[in-house]
Chains A and B, each alone.
Chain A
Amino acid sequence: MKTGIKIALSVAMLASLSFGGEQFAMSDADRAMYAEMSENNPADIMIADGEELLSYMGGDEGLAKYLGVSEDELPSYIAGFPRYIKKFDMVVGLDQVLQAMMADGGHKPLKLKSGNMFAMVAYVKSIANDEPINIDVNANPQMKEMYALGEKTFMTKRGGRGLSCNSCHSPDVIGRVLRTQPLPDLSSKGVKAAATWPAYRMTKSSLRTFQRRFQGCMKNALLKVIPLGSKEMVALEIYLTDKAKGSEIAIPGLKR
């Protein structure tokens, strides 16, 4: 199994790196730390932990079997999540699949927000490193419905300041600066943000999932923070993963 760890630079990160000066959030010290971490992503250890945790459930082979695919097909199957799984009658993310697998294996499922779960999800997604994202939002009515819900959730203005995700991530504001932070591109086709999460966040000194990242933006922008695994969260992940369709997965990402 290839575990080629790739370094993923977000658009925002590149922008932060290429400009100096007080306008930007990254200081010279930050940049030095970033350069060091690009050589040696601190999340690599956490991914190794995730691999060990999965090994208690049969490792890659056990996962492939659980998902009903061969081990060879596993990477490209993983590159299509979130997806509708008939057995669960639900559209699920990788973390939720792991919960079901734990339950079926007689284990108590880890909480979606637990650090061990983040580590496992990161490991499982890294199985698909170098694989292009192949999510199919038209695969079935369930996925269609979730994509539509994701788009709606992305566009809905709410919270104390009346903002939506789109207020800061619509194509016309990409690259502009929000209080020292260049706004990353999330919503135009071929954008690879989704391919780089789970990622290590330097400002949080921890490994975070894509949905956990959404929660960060909700909190900062005063949108009520909705729980991981909720329909709307999975839907947001689907909406943004579709934007990254075709981008090669590179886990763990490294973010400011």
Chain B
Amino acid sequence: MNKTVMMSLLVGASLFATDYSKVIEHPDASKMIEKDLLAPPKVFTMPAGCITSDPAAIARGEYIFNNLNGKKAKKNPPKGLSRKQMKPGKTYMSGDKIPPKQYGNCVACHNIEGARGAGNIGPDLTDYKENFIDSGARDYQFVFQKIADARIDNPDTHMTINLTTKLFTPREICDITSFVVAPK
């Protein structure tokens, strides 16, 4: 091809055929969303010894209830709970960034004994033992399931899903449940 023809083709291309899909940013987010989707509702059964009056477990439950994550939390977590989230089975080298552990932030939506700045999107959980457990309205398994995956009881729930998402371990859900149902 001769040089002038090529030149005019190039100029022509830049003048007439702006490929807008190249100049307008429109990144694909569909795969990101797909990977981020919530699994279907799941029924969970409380493991043996789940609900406990062990003060250490209740303290962990209370801490998870009242804090958003390991970075934002002001007070140090109680024994058995960390500020950072290590992946099981992964070897960490010094200097590796370890993400903060996420907690429940239940207080964002629920009031409860000792809560500060509680929200009111969900029901007030103050005096939960007296009002809900002792009265027979709820049992431990119900509370455990509600915290683990609230959709089983209410498909349209606005509540967070805490076990199906693997945000917590079953033991942690037990700690939180133990705190909610404990006498206070």
Query: Which residues in A have some Cβ–Cβ distance to B below 8 Å?
Result: 22-23, 87-90, 92, 96, 99-100, 102-104, 109, 111-112, 153, 156-163, 166-168, 170, 172-173, 176-181, 183, 222-224, 226-234
B84 within 8 A of partner (CB): no
In the assembly, what is the distance between CA of A183 and CA of B160, in Å? 16
CB neighbours of B18 from chain A (8 A): 100, 103-104
B109 within 8 A of partner (CB): yes
Chain B contact surface mostly: loop
Instruction: Output the nearest chain B residue to A181 by Cβ-Cβ distance.
Output: B119
B38 touching A157, Cβ below 8 Å: yes
Q: A162-B164, A233-B29 are in contact. Are A222 and B102 (CB under 8 A)?
A: yes
B184 within 8 A of partner (CB): no
Q: A100-B18, A158-B37 are in contact. Are A230 and B26 (CB under 8 A)?
A: yes
B33 touching A158, Cβ below 8 Å: yes
Question: How many residues of B sit at the interface, in one of the four size bands?
Answer: 35 or more
CB neighbours of B160 from chain A (8 A): 161-163
CB neighbours of B119 from chain A (8 A): 176-181
Query: Which residues in B have some Cβ–Cβ distance to A below 8 Å?
Result: 18, 20-21, 23-30, 32-33, 35-38, 102, 105, 107-109, 116-121, 158-162, 164-165, 167
| CB<8 Å pairs between A and B, sample of 7 | A96-B24, A103-B20, A158-B37, A162-B161, A177-B121, A179-B117, A234-B26
**The residue from B21, B27, B35, B158 contacting A227, defined by CB atoms under 8 A apart:** B27
Instruction: Output the nearest chain B residue to A180 by Cβ-Cβ distance.
Output: B117
> Quick one: which of A102, A161, A234 has the most chain B CB within 10 A?
A161
CB neighbours of B38 from chain A (8 A): 157-159, 162
Q: A89-B20, A230-B27 are in contact. Are A224 and B32 (CB under 8 A)?
A: yes
**The residue from B25, B118, B120 contacting A99, defined by CB atoms under 8 A apart:** B25
In the assembly, what is the distance between CA of A23 and CA of B38, in Å? 31
B161 touching A161, Cβ below 8 Å: yes
B36 touching A158, Cβ below 8 Å: yes
Instruction: Output the nearest chain A residue to B107 by Cβ-Cβ distance.
Output: A179
A112 touching B109, Cβ below 8 Å: no
